[in-house]
Amino acid sequence: MVFPQLAIDGLRMFILFAAATAPSTREQSGRGHWTLSALGGGFGSVTLNNLDPKRMPVELELDDDSKDIKVKGNRRFRPAKKEAGNGPKRQLQLRAKRPDAEACVAGSFKGSGSSSSRVRMSIDLTTGLVDGQSRGFLEIRHGDGVGLVVYRVEAVWNAAIDGFSVRARRDGQAVGSTHDLKGAHQLLLFARQSDADFSLSAAVAGFDEGSWDDEVQVYNTLLDDEAANYCGAFGAAGLDKKGSIYFANLALDGDPQRLGLTDAEKQLAFNLQYAGTACGNCEVFADPHDFMTNIILARDWAVAGEFAWASAQTLLKGLIEDGTIAGKRAKRMKLSVRRGVAFSKRAAKLAQKLVDKGKGPGDSSAPLEHLGQWGRNLGDLATAQITGFNSSSVDHVYDWATF
C-alpha cells in the first residue's frame, strides 16, 4: 500500500489535553500527572489508553485497498501469555481480511521540537502472522509535505524466537540495527527527540501502562531541522488473513503545537483548562484530610473557577452563534459548560460561607471538596469535547485517557 505523505487531521486531542494547569497544586488532586505550565508552550503529557474511533477522533489513513483490514475499536484483549503485561482490557484491533493486509492510523499527534511518543503494540494469537513479514510500527513524519522525511520503528514477527525483531526504516530504507525481543508478545514502540537528537527504540511492555523492560535502541541520528513540524502514525502490515495486531496507550510527551483550532477555540480551551485547574485547586485545599487544607485558599480558587467558567460560557455562546462550534459538539459542550458553571457557583458560595463562619479543616469542607472535584472533571471533559471527544461522560474521559 502507498500512504499519502500528508497526515489526516486526527487526534487533535493530544494537542489540547496538554493545556494550562498549575502543577504545584493540580498534581495533588488525584487524577494523573498534568505537567504543562501554559497553553502556548511548556511540557505536557497525555496517554490515550483506548483508541476506539467511536470515542476518539482517530482515522484510518486511506490507501489503494481500504478493505484489506477491518478496524475494530474497543475490542476485548486477552493476552495469550500469562507472563505478559496485561495492558488495557479494551484495545484497537487491526484484523486482516485477506493476505498481505496493511493499514495505518495517521495524524495521531502533531507538534514540533523536543518530544517523545510511544504506543503499545500487542498480539493475542499467532494465527495470521507471517514469519519475517507481519509487523506493527510507529511512524514519525518530519516536515510539511515538501522534503518530508519518514522515520519508522517496526516490530516484525519472528516465529523462531516466538517474539519480534525490531528494526528501523528511513523513507522505507533500512537504517540502524536490528534487535530480537525473544518471547515478547506485547511491546512498546518509541520515537524520541531531544533538540536535534532523534532516536527510535522498542521495549517489552510491562504490567503497567508506563512501565517496560529490555529497551533496545535501533536508530539514532541528528536532525537537519530540529524545529521542523512533525506528525505521527501507527499501524500494521504484512498480515495474513485473520491476523491481528492490537494498539493501545498512545502517548505523547513534549511541546506540541495546537493545530486545527481557531484562535477563538484556543482561547475557549484555555478558559476551560483554567476553570478546571482552579476547581481542582479548590478541591485540594478543601480536602478535610490533607495537611494542605486551607479554607481561605479554597475560597479564592473557587471564586477564580466561577469567573473562568462564566467566561468560558460566554466564549462558547459566541462560537456557537457564529457556527464555529456546531452540531453534536455544540450540544455536548453546552451541557458540560452549563454544569461547570453551576458547580463552580455552588462551590464559591459554600466556600465563602465557610470563611464567614470561621470554619477550618474538618468534615464541614468535604462538600466543597466534592464540588471542586466536579468542576475539575468537567473542565477536562469540555476540553476533550472541543478537540473531538465523542461523549458527554466524565467517566469516559478518565477511562480512556491518562493525564
99 and 199 within one domain: yes
Whether 7 maps to a domain, the answer reads no
| Contact in structure between 392 and 378 (CB atoms under 8 Å) | no
The residue from 254, 284, 308 where one domain ends is 254
Whether 345 maps to a domain, the answer reads yes
379 and 271 within one domain: yes
The three-state secondary structure class of 234 is: strand
Whether 396 maps to a domain, the answer reads no
pTM greater than the 0.85 cutoff? no
228 and 309 within one domain: no
246 and 267 within one domain: no
- The C-alpha atoms of residue 7 and residue 150 are separated, in whole angstroms, by 11
167 and 30 within one domain: yes
State the CB neighbour count (10 A cutoff) for residue 64. 8
Whether 401 maps to a domain, the answer reads no
Number of domains in the chain: 2
Task: Give the pLDDT confidence score for residue 46 in this predicted structure.
Answer: 63
- Long-range contact set of residues 196-201: C-beta below 8 Å, sequence gap at least 24: 196/222, 196/223, 196/226, 197/222, 197/223, 198/151, 198/222, 198/223, 200/138, 200/151, 200/152, 200/153, 200/168, 200/176, 201/153, 201/166
For the chain, 403 residues long, give each residue's pLDDT as a single digit of tens.
322 222 222 222 222 222 222 222 322 222 222 222 222 333 346 677 767 766 665 556 655 566 788 888 888 888 876 655 567 788 889 999 988 888 887 654 566 667 788 899 999 999 999 999 999 999 988 876 567 889 999 999 999 999 999 999 999 999 999 999 999 999 999 999 888 899 999 999 876 666 788 899 999 999 887 767 777 788 999 999 999 999 988 877 654 444 456 788 888 988 998 998 899 889 888 877 665 568 888 899 999 999 999 999 999 999 999 999 998 889 999 999 999 999 999 999 999 988 888 766 555 788 888 898 899 889 888 887 886 677 777 766 666 555 5
200 and 270 within one domain: no
373 and 273 within one domain: yes
Residue found under cell 453534536: 328
Residue 267: CATH number of its domain: 1.20.120.660
Whether 2 maps to a domain, the answer reads no
- The C-alpha atoms of residue 91 and residue 117 are separated, in whole angstroms, by 18
Range of the domain at 293: 263-386
271 and 195 within one domain: no
Whether 56 maps to a domain, the answer reads yes
Residue 150: CATH number of its domain: 2.60.120.200
210 and 65 within one domain: yes
Task: Give the pLDDT confidence score for residue 211 in this predicted structure.
Answer: 73
305 and 219 within one domain: no
Whether 325 maps to a domain, the answer reads yes
Task: Give the pLDDT confidence score for residue 170 in this predicted structure.
Answer: 96
234 and 277 within one domain: no
